[in-house]
């Protein structure tokens, strides 16, 4: 039986220069709700109404970057134990475990992963009252997963396996280029994190779970009508068996609507697959999406992350 100290993905924190425009898009078009505004630091916390997490996205005005990726831990003791293990492994700590002052509070700490992204792990967060998303309601239930680009995908994946207890669920590959993306899990969801081989370190995409296929399609149509460009989709992946529709937000980040992500209920019998991207069904089982090509891939390379080994100010 695999024992993990990390329980789930909590939120993604981003900084963008066009703060007001991005905030308008996320709160009006994308379907997140404003949970809290910190005017002093020009930070807004946005929640998904179907999720009990106090917020799913933290948006800050500043140079474009990933501020941090936040995960939950099962308990305060798991937070302390993970902190001690990372110290022993000489992982660089941003701050030691303490009571957090973000909405929902909690007890947690931050550190840099092997690439220099700031990672937060917390427990004892006060959850909010969430609600059931109604049939045909085109708003996200929760933050599903975060995918990053790395110049050394295997090194990044190995860090998350060795130090944080993640496991590889499946891998995308090609005979010509080798491994291209590892899908990684910290619970029974097929992936809450993934790492892609890229030309630099950056955000690849952030994905939000919809209630079902009907809500996913209605949400995708809503985003198209907002004027945002669909980069890739609509379709259904092989790895994870989830639907996908990728859009560019006003800051140039790729955001995804998805649904029906696979779960892995028996890790002892699960064997990761290496799925060849040149097989037409690997990328899109349905064959409804536009072809994945270099132009589509380039959008998800994004701009180089300027926040590596630089802790966010909040």
Confidence check: pLDDT of 103 > 90? yes
- Provide mean pLDDT across the span 70-88: 98
C-alpha 81/C-alpha 3 separation (Å) is: 13
| Sheet containing strand 107-112, strands side by side | 33-38, 43-47, 57-61, 6-16, 65-73, 118-123, 107-112, 93-99
Cα 159 to Cα 12, 168, 218, distances in angstroms: 19, 12, 38
Is the pLDDT at 2 greater than 70, yes or no? no
In this prediction, what percent of the chain has a pLDDT beyond 90? 93
| The predicted structure's pLDDT at residue 292 | 85
Q: What CA–CA distance (Å, rounded) separates 285 from 16?
A: 34
CA distance 97 to 134: 38
Q: What are phi and psi of 259, to 5 degrees?
A: -165, 165
pLDDT, averaged across the chain: 96
Confidence at residue 1, expressed as pLDDT on a 0 to 100 scale: 56
Mind listing the pLDDT tens digit for each residue in 155-173? 999 999 999 999 999 999 9
Q: Which of 106-120, 234-248, 288-302 has the lowest mean pLDDT?
A: 288-302
- Report all structural domains of the chain as residue ranges with CATH numbers, in order of start: 6-123 (3.10.180.10), 142-301 (3.10.180.10)
End-to-end CA distance of the chain: 37
Enumerate residues 6+ apart whose C-beta is below 8 A from 158: none
pLDDT at 138: 97
Q: How confident is the model at residue 240 (pLDDT cuts 50, 70, 90)?
A: very high
Instruction: Using a cut of 0.95, tell me whether the model's pTM lies above it.
Output: yes
């Amino acid at each position: 039986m695999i024992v993990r100290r990390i329980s789930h993905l909590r939120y993604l924190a981003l900084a963008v220069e066009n703060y007001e425009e991005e905030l308008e898009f996320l709160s009006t078009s994308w379907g997140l709700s404003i949970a809290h505004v910190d005017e002093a630091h020009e930070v807004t916390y946005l929640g998904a109404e179907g999720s009990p997490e106090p917020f799913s996205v933290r948006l800050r005005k500043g140079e474009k970057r990933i501020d941090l990726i936040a995960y939950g831990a099962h308990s305060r003791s798991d937070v302390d134990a993970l902190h001690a293990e990372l110290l022993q492994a000489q992982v660089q700590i941003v701050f030691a475990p303490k009571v957090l002052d973000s909405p929902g509070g909690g007890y947690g700490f931050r550190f840099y992963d092997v690439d220099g992204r700031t990672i937060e792990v917390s427990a004892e967060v006060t959850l909010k009252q969430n609600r059931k998303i109604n049939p045909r309601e085109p708003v996200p239930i929760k933050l599903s997963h975060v995918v990053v680009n790395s110049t050394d995908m295997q090194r990044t994946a190995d860090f998350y396996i060795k130090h944080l207890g993640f496991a590889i669920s499946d891998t995308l590959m090609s005979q010509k280029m080798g491994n291209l993306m590892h899908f990684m899990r910290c619970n029974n969801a097929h992936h809450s994190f993934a790492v892609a081989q890229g030309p630099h370190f950056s955000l690849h995409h952030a994905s939000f779970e919809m209630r079902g296929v009907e809500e996913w399609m209605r949400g995708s149509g809503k985003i198209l009508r907002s004027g945002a460009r669909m980069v890739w989709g609509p379709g259904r992946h092989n790895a994870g068996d989830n639907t996908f529709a990728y859009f560019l937000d006003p800051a140039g980040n790729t955001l995804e609507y998805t649904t029906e992500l696979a779960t892995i209920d028996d890790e002892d019998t699960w064997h990761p697959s290496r799925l060849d991207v040149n097989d037409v069904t690997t990328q899109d089982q349905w064959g409804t999406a536009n072809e994945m090509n270099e132009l589509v891939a380039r959008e998800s390379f994004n701009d180089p992350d300027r926040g590596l080994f630089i802790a966010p100010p909040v």
